[in-house]
Amino acid sequence: MMETVGAVPAVSLAEVKAFLRVTHDAEDALIAALARAATEAVEAWTGQLLIERSVSVDVAVTGPRLRFPLWPLVRVEAVSWLPRTGAAPGAVNGWSVAVDAAGASWVTHGLDVRDGLLRVGARVGLAKDWNGVPETARLAVCRLAAVGFARRDGGEGSAMPADVAAALLPLRRVAL
């Protein structure tokens, strides 16, 4: 389970409207929704959150450390244990974070349990705001919003366009 707080599009409404060459305000709500959806699609495809935000992730306890599933981890703010049995949940003290050579983040928790979940509260994202998002990602969001805008009355499927996928390849994080 993952909860995110404050998800925002990776580009401004004005930037998407300029990309679309739309000068009126009549479709601002639609264009803003397309920018949010395009941001979500780029994040899902790259495996990285573009705008830094707070997340809460529940991860099964399978050993003394766990791989944090989101990229890039800015900081862990809290770790708590959620047992599957009737035991009381509680804060985990003494946790630490390490990043391996591949850039994966690992949370060491020190619990001597194999049952339950760890809830990790963290800040995750490439940039503090949309101005810091890499240009390739910003253009990909604009391009995907433009595809959605063109297809808003129906049309072809919703696959990632090949030109957008190719542009995003350097940002893609795949966990094996």
The predicted model scores a pTM of 0.79
Contact call for residues 28 and 147 (beta carbons, < 8 A): no
Q: What is the pLDDT of residue 109?
A: 83
Q: What is the pLDDT of residue 7?
A: 57
* Average pLDDT score over the chain: 86
pLDDT digits (tens, 9 = 90+) for 100-132: 888 889 998 877 666 778 899 999 999 998 889
Q: What is the pLDDT of residue 2?
A: 54
Is the pLDDT reported for residue 151 higher than 90?
no
- CA 141/CA 35 separation, integer angstroms: 7
Contact call for residues 175 and 103 (beta carbons, < 8 A): no
Kindly state the average pLDDT of the residues 145-152. 90
Is the pLDDT reported for residue 19 higher than 60?
yes
Which one is predicted more confidently, 92 or 16?
A: 16
Q: Number of helices (H) and strands (E) in the chain: give both, helices first.
A: 4, 8
At residue 24 the predicted structure's pLDDT band, cuts being 50, 70 and 90, is very high
Is the pLDDT reported for residue 154 higher than 70?
no
Q: What is the pLDDT of residue 38?
A: 93
Kindly state the average pLDDT of the residues 163-170. 89
- CA 84/CA 120 separation, integer angstroms: 16
- CA 128/CA 130 separation, integer angstroms: 7
At residue 8 the predicted structure's pLDDT band, cuts being 50, 70 and 90, is confident
Contact call for residues 111 and 80 (beta carbons, < 8 A): no
Is the pLDDT reported for residue 60 higher than 70?
yes
